[in-house]
């Protein structure tokens, strides 16, 4: 029953649901889990419309789950990267979460050529990815702090037996 209580607690706090006892790298293989983590870091209290600022008015586009529409102003579609340095990136948020995890949680600094090989992107794209991640850290410190906390929390739970 320990597991059920744990699951309920996690659900109440609104944190991403993940299975325990799995290495974090494996957990992060799921695009959906990464997206949940990223959205939670961006909007700890639920999506906020970047156009009108409405809270609790977001509905997820069923056809494109990373996109939200606003029921208040009805004039925009947005995602967790809107208004950040990661906006207009063609890369899925899961790549950003994995890259952040490798560099900042596992403390493995990567060079642009390593990023290029690892994610199968052009060298210039890899360079820009590293730059953008740094820009996120300096310009969105609260969000990135939450991302770090969520990933460290995952690592703690994954390591527990
Ligand atoms: Zn709105």
Rg (CA), the chain: 16
**Per-residue pLDDT, 16:** 56
Tokens standing for residue 52: 């009108």
- The CA 48 to ligand 1 mean position distance, Å, reads 8
What is the band of 23 on the pLDDT scale with cuts at 50, 70, 90? confident
In three-state secondary structure terms, 11 is helix
Query: Is 14's pLDDT higher than 60?
Result: no
pLDDT digits (tens, 9 = 90+) for 59-116: 999 898 899 999 999 878 999 999 999 988 889 999 999 999 999 999 999 999 999 9
- The CA 61 to ligand 1 mean position distance, Å, reads 14
Query: Is 11's pLDDT higher than 60?
Result: no
**Per-residue pLDDT, 88:** 84
Residues 105-134, mean pLDDT to the nearest whole number? 96
pTM: 0.83
At a CB cut-off of 8 Å and minimum separation 6, what does 19 contact? Answer: 27
- The CA 35 to ligand 1 mean position distance, Å, reads 21
- The CA 73 to ligand 1 mean position distance, Å, reads 4
**Per-residue pLDDT, 13:** 47
Query: Is 43's pLDDT higher than 90?
Result: yes
Strand pairing report for 68-70 and 58-60: antiparallel
**Per-residue pLDDT, 20:** 54
């Amino acid at each position: 029953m320990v597991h059920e209580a744990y699951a309920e607690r996690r659900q109440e706090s609104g944190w991403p649901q993940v299975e325990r006892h799995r290495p974090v790298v494996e957990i992060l293989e799921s695009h959906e889990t990464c997206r949940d983590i990223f959205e939670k870091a961006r909007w700890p209290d639920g999506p906020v419309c970047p156009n009108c600022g409405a809270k609790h008015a977001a509905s997820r586009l069923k056809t494109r789950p990373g996109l939200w529409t606003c029921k208040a102003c009805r004039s925009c579609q947005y995602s967790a990267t809107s208004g950040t340095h990661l906006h207009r990136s063609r890369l899925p948020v899961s790549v950003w979460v994995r890259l952040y995890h490798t560099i900042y949680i596992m403390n493995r600094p990567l060079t642009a050529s390593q990023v290029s090989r690892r994610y199968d992107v052009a060298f210039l794209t890899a360079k820009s990815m590293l730059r953008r991640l740094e820009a996120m850290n300096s310009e969105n410190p609260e969000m990135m702090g939450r991302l770090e906390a969520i990933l460290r929390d995952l690592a703690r739970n994954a390591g527990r037996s």
